[in-house]
Amino acid sequence: MQVQFNSDSSVMGTENVATRIEAQVREKLSRFEDRLTRLEIHVRDENARKGGADDKACVIEARPRSGAPLSVTAHAADVDTAARVAGTKLAKLLDRQFGKAEKHKHDPSPDKVI
């Protein structure tokens, strides 16, 4: 699974932040690794230098091997917390998505006897 990390210029320590967040998200989503081709993680500070509560955002987009891309967004006071919340949201979404796919796989119906 390929992971792409993007951040805006207001997120400080980008390389350190990228390494930390990527490891955190990979751990959270490790059970889906064989079903995903790529994750895109986007972190940003929505109001830059102004500060404020819950102004950091993390968007994670997952690309399943089959099906449409799925994404979640989380806001928090810092990017690590936003990434952790977004990773948890995405894990729940993938559980539902892949669970539904497994549930709707049907064995071929047996021949009817009349």
Task: Give 1-26 as a DSSP string.
Answer: -EEEEEE-TTSSSHHHHHHHHHHHHH
For 61-84, the pLDDT digits (tens) are 999 998 899 999 999 988 899 999
pLDDT band at 3 (very low <50, low <70, confident <90, very high): very high
- Of 60, 64, 56, residue with least CA distance to 34: 64
pLDDT of residue 97: 87
45 has pLDDT over 70: yes
pTM of the complete model beyond 0.75: yes
Tokens of 57: 């955002």
37 has pLDDT over 60: yes
